[in-house]
Structures are given as structure tokens and as C-alpha cells.
Structure 1
Amino acid sequence: MSVITLTTDFGLEDSYVAAMKGVILGINPQATIVDVTHAVPPQDIQAGAFALLGVAPYFPKGTVHVAVIDPGVGSERRAIALQAGGYFFIGPDNGVLTLAAQVHNLRRKLSLVRPSSAIKAIHLLNPEYWLSEVSSTFHGRDIFAPVAAHLTSGEPFDNFGVPIEDYAMLELKAPVERDDALIGEILYIDRFGNLISNILNRHIPEVREQARVEIAKACFRGIFQTYANAHVGDPLALIGSSGFLEIAVRNGSAARQLDAKIGDPVIITMPKT
């Protein structure tokens, strides 16, 4: 099976996504194309990286993940491909690929350092695998899509360019322990208004019902298992499906109700024993 996923900030109002799919199918008609999302906020590299992180490991080995959140398109930023954990990642060299490429390391410890040889990277420099005419504003169609299609058609990874080690890494802060508090921050806001933090499940002690949670305009107690643990309209904290602590409002938007935004601190204080 040849699977290619697409993650972009293109939206669906225009024809950009269809153009990429047309290029892929023109080269590899047998490809299965899966849309991760095209609703990443424009130019929001971190949001795109987080969206890809949440889905990449659930696909079959050999899947090619293409991510195009590319504010530097046409500049000197490189076009790259990564091979890691049995998957391939194609996109601009701005960090959008690196969270997903390090998913296993990320879940083990929220500390992103220069990766080991477990990740193989190349600078896409072989125009044989691009479209014949390359626009300076649409590398998603003219470089990334055709490379993905050729890769799923059986072309060897090394044929697409030259090895590199200095590709851009997305910096993701780890939560900080201070006295009896754990201080993290909001990384991502989903379409429901849930506030997803950089605090992983493993960072939080097992006794959680008395934990004090502070964020933006709210302060409440408890880290729970489901949204149903709160009354309608009330905020709550829980571990979301991605394994990160999130703040939600039952049947509402935490982002809107709490007037919260990406980068806002999340403070978890455990009761003293």
C-alpha cells in the first residue's frame, strides 16, 4: 500500500490541495492520499507540527507524511525529507516535520535535542523528481508532492538529494518544576477550543483529584479522565488522546471562555502531604 498524508495551512476554499493531489496521482495512480488537516492557521509552524505529531504513528510503516506550512517558500530555506521510525516526512526545513519524526523520543521525555542517527535527513536537490517548472511560491505542488509520489513508487530515498545533519529543529519547552508546582504552557488549541499543553501524562503524580490548576482567568481543582466529569459550562483538566494535559470546558470552548491563547502558562500545584 502506498499511503501519502497531507498536512497544510491551505484551507479548502482554493485549489491548492487538489493541485497537490493531482500531481501525486499523475505520478503514482495507486497512491492512497489521506488529508490530515488543511486548517492549520496560516504560517503557524508549531500548530502544523503538533497536528502531524498527533497522527503520524497511527499510519502503516512506509507512509509518507507531507507537511506544507511554509512561510519561507521561495527563500533560501531548504526542501528536505526525513526517514525515521519506518516513516518518511517531506516538507520545508523549518521544523514542521521534526516533532512527528521524533515521536517516540518525545513521548519518553519532553526534551528535543539534536536527534541521533535514528533520523536520516536529506536536502532535496535532485530536480529529476520535481515538476519540470517550479514555482517560487508553491513548492508543495512542484517539489514535495512529486517527491512523495516517486518515493511511494519505489524510488530509493537516497536518490532524492544529499545527506544533511543541520536541519531546523522545532523548539518545544519542557514543563518546569518549581517548589510544589509544575509550570507548563499552551502549545495548541483545537477546533473545540481545548487548550493542549506541553505537560505529559507522566509528569503528573498519580494522586490528581486535589491538584490545583491555574490558567488564564480560571483556577479549579482536579485532573480527571473524561469531559463528563465536569458540569456543562465548567472548566476541567484531563489527559487528552494525544497524551498531553489539556484544559477544556464541557460543551464549550476553553479558549473563548477563559480568554486563553498559545503560550499562556498552565500551573499545576499538588497538595502538600
Structure 2
Amino acid sequence: MMETNHFLVLQTDFGLKDGAVSAMHGVAHLVAPHVAVSDLTHEIPPYDIWAASYRLYQTIKYWPKGTTFVSVVDPGVGSDRKSIAVKTKSGHFIITPDNGSLTHVATYMGLEEVREIDEQKNRLPYSSESNTFHGRDIYAYNGALLADGEKSFEDLGEPLDPTSVVKLPLTEAKLENDHLTGSIDVLDIRFGSLWTNIPYDLVKKADIKRGDKLTVTITYQGQTYYHDTIPFVTSFADVAIKDPLMYINSLVNVGIALNQASFADTYKIGTGNDWKIDLTRE
């Protein structure tokens, strides 16, 4: 039986310019004083469910089993979209809207069990007149009680079929006819590097080695945004400042970058399933 461990990690698109995140922290401490509350990020672009999904996947494996995550990127707040709690096959817990924010975790890590949260029964007392701040009234509230062990996973609501959880479209990374193809899942935001879903194992399978030159093509809905030859290197320092490079990022996937400049800004590259990348050795 998986048990929670008193760690609660929060992720939202709320930003830090007002009191929303502080209110979530406050509710967590109010109902579960012994829970240790941390932040994954509160700078998810507004309404960007894809980015929320990826950041969960990027981070969750580095927290101990039993950690509870609350992810609130919820453009459908107050609608008929479900609020759900999940146990992952990795031994973590997530409370989130059922709107696609579990896409990457469900696909690459797996869901063991899912519960639909009863939003009328399981919510902050005296909050039922408001339907616009579920992050505070439902997600942080239930996440804190679950993390503290004051409420069991089973108490959160009735079970759902894990395969029924909403998932956004994903592109599978492939090696075909000497071409590595995949999608640009997310940015290394501060530095503007592109993080793809192409794993290093596929790079090795293609017999691509550091020092090789690669033709890189990046498209969005069929339109080409970048097409050039760049080197596959070990570190950013292996190329001149502002020169392009391919490297292996901290998730052991292919990254594309400019040394000390933003690749995304320079070439107007975005992220998501519609941004495709093709790599082939010269």
C-alpha cells in the first residue's frame, strides 16, 4: 500500500504578483500544519495545459515516493470538467483537473489508480459559494489533507478507469530511414533552449556520435522555421558564443540551443505537439 509522506508540491499558472499562491500555502498549513509545502513552479504560461503536463513529468521522479503534487492549470474551472486524484505507478500522488495535465505522466510513467474528487463534499469549509478558485478551495485543501495522512486516497471520491483520464495528443519519437523525428516538448525557459522528446537511446541507435554534424529541420504545422547543420557536442562551451549546438539535456533527451543566446527567441520556435523536429546525420 502506498502512503503519503508529508511533502506537498504546488504547480500553477497563477504567477506571484498577487496572493493566490500564498492563499494555497495558507490553506495547506491551516488544515495540515505538519505538511512541508514546496513549489514546482507558478510560472506556467496562462492556460497552457501542455506545459503543466510536461513540468510534472520533468520533476516528479526526483521527489520521494509518497509525495503529493497539486497541479492547477485550469481554464475550465467551474465547468463540468472533473477534479481527480491519482496514484502513479512510480508511487506518487497528484491532484489536478482532468483536462490533459496528466498526459506525460500517464503515458511515460503510468497511473495505478484514479479517483474523482467530490467537489461539494471535499472542499474548504464555507467555500461553496465560489467556483473560480478551486486551486485553493479543492486542490490545495485536499492535497494537504492527503499529504498529511488526515484523509486517505480512497476518501477523496469514487474510482475511475485510469484509461479514461484526458490526454493530449503526443508525438512518438522515431528512427526511420536514418531520420530521427519527434516534437519540441518544452523550453529550458530562462535560456531559450529547445527540449525535444527524442531520447539519447535513439541517438545511439542511429549511431550518431559527438562531433557529428546533423541537419536539423524544425516545422510547425508543415511550415519550416529552421533548417541548418549543427554539431552534436558534449557541452555549450564546445561551440562559439551564439553558435548552434545539439546536446543531451538533464532528462537525457536531445536539446537544441545557441551558446549564450535564446534559440527559441532567435528563430521564433514554440512548443507542443505541433512543433516537429527532424534530425539526420550529414
- Normalised by the size of structure 2, how large is the TM-score? 0.86
Question: 1:54: how far off?
Answer: 1.1
Structure 2 counterparts to residues 1-273 of structure 1, below 5 A: 1-84=5-88, 85-104=90-109, 119-125=112-118, 127-132=120-125, 133-134=127-128, 135-154=130-149, 155-165=151-161, 166-189=164-187, 190-205=189-204, 206-208=207-209, 209-214=211-216, 215=218, 216-262=225-271, 263-271=274-282
Question: 1:40: how far off?
Answer: 0.5
CA contact (8 A) 1:126 1:160 kept: no
Q: List alignment gaps of at least 5 residues for structure 2.
A: 219-224
User: Secondary structure of the residue that 2:154 maps to in structure 1?
Assistant: helix
Question: 1:237: how far off?
Answer: 0.9
Structure 1 counterpart of 2:94, which letter? F
Aligned-partner Cα distance in 2 for 1:126–1:44: 23
Give CA-to-partner distance per residue, 1:201-226, whole Å, 9 cap, x none. 11113432324131333412332221
What is the alpha-carbon root mean square deviation over aligned residues?
A: 1.8
CA contact (8 A) 1:66 1:90 kept: yes
Aligned-partner Cα distance in 1 for 2:213–2:39: 38
Aligned-partner Cα distance in 1 for 2:121–2:12: 24
Give CA-to-partner distance per residue, 1:22-73, whole Å, 9 cap, x none. 1100001111111111111001111111111111111111100110011111
Partner of 2:221: none
CA contact (8 A) 1:95 1:168 kept: yes
Aligned-partner Cα distance in 1 for 2:18–2:35: 23
Structure 2 counterpart of 1:195, which letter? L
Give CA-to-partner distance per residue, 1:143-196, whole Å, 9 cap, x none. 111111111221211011000011212332112444221222211122211111
Aligned-partner Cα distance in 2 for 1:163–1:219: 50
Question: 1:258: how far off?
Answer: 2.1
CA contact (8 A) 2:119 2:138 kept: no
Q: CA 1:95 to 1:170, structure 2 compared with 1: closer, same or farther past 3 Å?
A: same
Q: List alignment gaps of at least 5 residues for structure 1.
A: 105-114
- Normalised by the size of structure 1, how large is the TM-score? 0.89
Aligned-partner Cα distance in 2 for 1:201–1:210: 14
